[in-house]
Amino acid sequence: MKIRKSMPSRGEEYFNSNEFRSNLRKHAVRGAGATMVSQFSSFIIHMVGVVFLARLLTPEDFGLVAMVAAIYVFFRLLRNFGLTDATIQEKELDHRKVSTLFWVNAAFSVLITLSFMALGPVISWFYNEPRITWIAVVISLDSFFGGLVTQHRALLKRNFQFYKNAAIEIPAALGGFGTAIFLAWYGWGYWAIVMRWVVSALVEMIASWTLCRWRPGLPAFGAGVMPMIRFGINMMGNFTVGYFSTYLDKILIGWRYGSQSLGYYDRAYYLFMAPAQNMATPLTHVAVATLSKLREEPEKYRRYYLNAVSTIAFIGFPLSAMLTVMSNDVILLLLGPQWGETAQIFSVFGLAIGIQMIYATNAWIHISLGRSDRWFRWSIFGTICTTISFLVGLPFGPLGVVIAYTASIYILTGPCLWYAGKPINLKLADIVLEIWKYYLSALCTGFLYWYILHSFSIISSILNGLNIFTRISLSVAFCSISYILMVITLYQSAKPVTKIISVGWEMVPNVFSKRISGT
Distance CA(377)–CA(423), nearest Å, equals: 14
Contact 333, 475 (CB under 8 A): no
* Contact (CB, 8 A) for 405 and 389: yes
Q: List strand residue ranges (DSSP E) for 211-301, in order.
A: none
- Contact between residue 419 and residue 363 where contact means Cβ atoms under 8 Å apart: no
The number of angstroms, rounded, from the C-alpha of 372 to the middle of its chain's C-alpha atoms is: 19
pLDDT value at position 517?
Answer: 40
Burial of 2 (0-12, 13-18, 19+ CB in 10 A): exposed
Give me the residue spans of the domains in the chain.
22-510
Q: For every residue of 452-465, which 3-state class applies, written as one string?
A: HHHHCHHHHHHHHC
Contact yes or no for 424/365 (Cβ under 8 A)? yes
Length reported for the chain: 519
Q: What is the pLDDT of residue 383?
A: 87
Which positions ≥6 away from 261 have C-beta within 8 Å? 63, 253, 397, 398
Contact 275, 287 (CB under 8 A): no
Which of 149, 154, 177 shows the shortest CA–CA distance to 93? 154
The one-digit pLDDT tens for each residue of the chain (519 residues) are 344 443 444 556 666 655 555 566 566 666 666 666 766 777 788 778 888 898 898 888 888 898 888 888 888 877 776 677 677 766 677 778 888 888 888 888 899 899 999 999 999 998 888 899 999 999 999 989 988 888 888 888 777 777 777 788 888 989 999 999 999 999 999 999 999 999 999 999 999 898 888 888 887 766 667 777 777 777 776 667 767 777 788 888 988 888 888 888 988 888 888 776 666 555 666 677 678 778 888 888 898 899 889 988 998 999 999 999 998 888 888 888 888 888 889 999 999 999 998 998 888 888 888 787 788 888 889 889 999 999 999 999 999 999 999 999 999 999 999 999 999 899 999 999 999 999 999 999 999 999 888 887 787 788 778 888 888 899 999 999 999 999 999 988 888 888 777 766 655 554 334 443 443
